[in-house]
Amino acid sequence: MTRDERIAKMRGGCWIGYTRAEQVARQLDDLLSLAKTHRMPNVLIVGETNNGKRRSSRVFFGSIGRRPMAPARRAFRSSPCRHALTG
C-alpha cells in the first residue's frame, strides 16, 4: 500500500466482529429473508451506552446497501402551551 492508502485506512472505521454482534447481524439477515407481510417481525437491540449498537446497525445497513432510517423528530411548538382553566 502507498503511504496515502495506509493513512486513509487508518482514518477509516474498523469493524471488530464480536460473537454477539455477529449473532445479531445473522438475526437481522434472517429477518430480511422473510416474506413481506402487514406486520413484519422486528428486533429491539438493547445494551449499555457506548457498546456499539449504532455502529453495528450502520455496518449492517451498509452491507445491504441501504441507509438506516433517521430517528423520528418531535415537532416542538414555538409558543408555550396554554391550558384553559374551567371552573
pLDDT 10s digits, 19-62? 888 888 888 888 888 888 888 888 888 888 887 788 777 777 77
Integer Cα distance of 4 and 60 in angstroms: 27
Is residue 59 within 8 Å of residue 15, measured between CB atoms?
Answer: yes
Is residue 45 within 8 Å of residue 24, measured between CB atoms?
Answer: yes
7 Cα distance to chain centroid: 27
Integer Cα distance of 87 and 84 in angstroms: 10
Task: Provide the whole-model pTM.
Answer: 0.52
